[in-house]
Amino acid sequence: MMTFRLTATCASLLAFVSGACADTDTNVRSTEAPVLAELFTSQSCSSCPPAEALFAELADEPGLVTIEWHVDYWDDLVYGREGRWEDPYSQASHTRRQRDYNMSLRGTMSVYTPQAIVNGQSELVGSHRDKLNTAIESADPASIALSVARTADGIKVSLPQGQDAPSAIIRHVRLLEKQSTSVKGGENAGRELASRNIALSSAVLGKWDGTSALSLSAPTPEAGENCAILVQQTAERGLGPVLAARYCPEAGA
């Protein structure tokens, strides 16, 4: 189990007994096995800005990989005199990913926003801070070793031999690191929405049998962008658990 947050500060009794609090930081997640937190959202949804604000906070947390997937089923909805707003980052493929998750986790293709998915294993309303904390704390740690390195030729993704893991898909996700949007229509008309780690595109790099060594390449992120590499278990229906997730390292890292 991974600890997501510090639930109590250093108490005076602890300080008295130990003489210091330097060694009591129990909220450090392993940066070697990050948890993946995904948000399915839309700029046309009035319930979504609080969830996006929460995920913006999480984006800087160590031991976490966060992704915003903007769905497209809000784009054609008309909201009174404000009309409709087509989310510029919405994609049908993001909606398909959400439906696949809901089939796996809820047994239905129906969807809602804002929805959070943690490590492909649990789902909840994306603006519920305490429940999201609990889901992240309870998430199974990454079960495999995944290496993501930046080279002169791009991003190198490596999985070593002999891990005895389930077969999986290796996915590369382009991320827009930060973006503010002035919404002109729909339920959020007149609001300035700030987002972090927006999914711009997603592509399968390859398949892994769970045992053999594997080496793959991905393109270097453009200016203002980053990327994430996801290793996700295959499933007969929907999407399986996330076995590992990592951001692509920054230049010079």
Q: What is the pLDDT along the chain (253 residues), one digit of tens a residue?
A: 443 443 333 333 233 233 333 333 334 455 678 999 999 999 999 999 999 999 999 999 999 999 999 999 999 999 888 999 999 999 999 999 999 999 999 999 999 999 999 999 999 999 999 999 999 999 987 779 999 999 999 999 999 999 999 999 999 999 999 999 999 999 999 999 999 999 999 999 999 999 999 999 999 999 999 999 999 998 888 899 999 999 999 875 5
pLDDT on residue 27: 40
Sheet holding 225-233, edge to edge: 122-125, 115-118, 35-41, 64-70, 192-208, 168-182, 225-233, 242-247
CB-count burial class (<10 Å; 0-12, 13-18, 19+) for 27: middle
- Domains along the chain with CATH numbers: 31-247 (3.40.30.10)
Do the beta carbons of residue 145 and residue 243 sit within 8 Å?
Answer: no
- Per-residue pLDDT reduced to its tens digit, 212-233: 999 999 999 999 999 999 999 9
Measured CA to CA, the distance from residue 180 to residue 234 in angstroms comes to 35
Do the beta carbons of residue 210 and residue 197 sit within 8 Å?
Answer: no
Enter the pTM of the model.
0.87
